[in-house]
Amino acid sequence: MTKVILCFAILLVMGAVFGAILAFAAKVFAVEKDPREEAIAECLPGANCGGCGFPGCSGYAAAVVAGKAATNNCAAGGAEVAAKIAEIMGVAAGESVKKIAAVRCTGCGADHTKYNYQGVHDCLAASRLAGGGPLACDFGCLGMGTCEQVCPFDAIHVKNGVAVVDEEKCKACSKCVDACPRHLIALEPYKTKKHVAIPCSSKAKGPVVTKICTNGCIGCSLCAKACPKEAIVVENFLAKIDYDKCVGCGLCAQKCPRHLITVDGVVPEVKKPAAPKAAPAAAPKAEPAPAAKAEEPPKAE
């Protein structure tokens, strides 16, 4: 019994000694943290989504204080948080452009498959099979919800075989962008009053697309020709929008023969050309007045 008490006492003394040493070392080698770092961390939403490009909110706060990150990089916080961070740092808040994750596929090729898939319900698993998955379109959404599983904001869900983004919930954290094995999700800037999008990723030739999708891009270039700002180019049989040039006029959507291009998420109705105005009927010509008969001179008697 005495030995047990002695051992316990020795451990207690050793613990106290080592604790004192660690406390002393912590004070001697302590690295002073800028108080602004803690203030920035407190105003961040705490989502730790990584959309800023740094490991969590604390990592972003440290990067801002160190001058390695802008004050408006927080996707989840938006302009309000950017203004608070700028106030803490004593700088002007940079202009932040709203971005949103866009699924560049309409899912209109979901009924065309190469084989019946019965494996793990995961896009990444399906994409590793022969042919890159069961979908006939090698560039379409597999619709198995890998993006849905990684979204920290519950902003993306699979509906009718294709991933759909909830614009109200999306914070542009890019988790779904990184998770998609087919790389068909991208962040698009909402810079214009009306947002124009081309929800297709197919690089197949037109005749191939028409066989496996009801409205995929066929690379006809009609949209590019209609754009007054030259904001659309066709590369590898796929039309792409340059959002630095796009003004949101929607003329490209009017010309798309596949009814693919959307304006604010909706395919606009094609405006029919106005019928030419009928020429006004010509007024009937007035008949000329009969010429007055010349008076005959009186006959001499």
* Single-letter amino acid, residue 21: I
Query: Minimum mean pLDDT among 193-207, 267-281, 282-296: which range?
Result: 282-296
d(CA 49, CA 81): 15
Q: What is the predicted pLDDT for the residue at 126?
A: 93
Q: For residue 239, what are its two tokens? A: 């039309």
Between the alpha carbon of residue 49 and those of residues 36, 63, 281, the distances in Å are: 21, 16, 71
Q: What is the pLDDT of residues 196-217, one digit of tens each?
A: 999 999 999 999 999 999 999 9
d(CA 193, CA 135): 35
For residues 287 and 223, the model is more confident at 223
pLDDT of 296 strictly over 60: no
Mark out the alpha helices in 29-119 (DSSP H runs): 35-43, 56-65, 78-89
Partnered with residue 197 across adjacent β-strands are 262
d(CA 10, CA 94): 60
Q: What is the pLDDT of residues 223-262, one digit of tens each?
A: 999 999 999 999 999 999 999 999 999 999 999 999 999 9
Average pLDDT (91-99) is: 77
Q: For residue 71, what are its two tokens? A: 């004050």
Q: How many CB atoms lie within 10 A of CB 68?
A: 11
Q: For residue 118, what are its two tokens? A: 């019965």
Q: What is the pLDDT of residues 110-132, one digit of tens each?
A: 899 999 998 899 999 999 998 89
Q: What is the pLDDT of residues 139-179, one digit of tens each?
A: 999 999 999 999 999 999 999 999 999 999 998 989 999 99
Q: What is the predicted pLDDT for the residue at 122?
A: 94
Instruction: Give, rounded to a whole angstrom, the gap between the first and last alpha carbons of the chain.
Output: 183
Dihedral pair phi/psi, residue 266, rounded to 5°:
-125, 140
pLDDT of 301 strictly over 50: no
Q: What is the pLDDT of residues 34-74, one digit of tens each?
A: 888 889 999 898 888 888 888 889 899 999 998 888 888 88
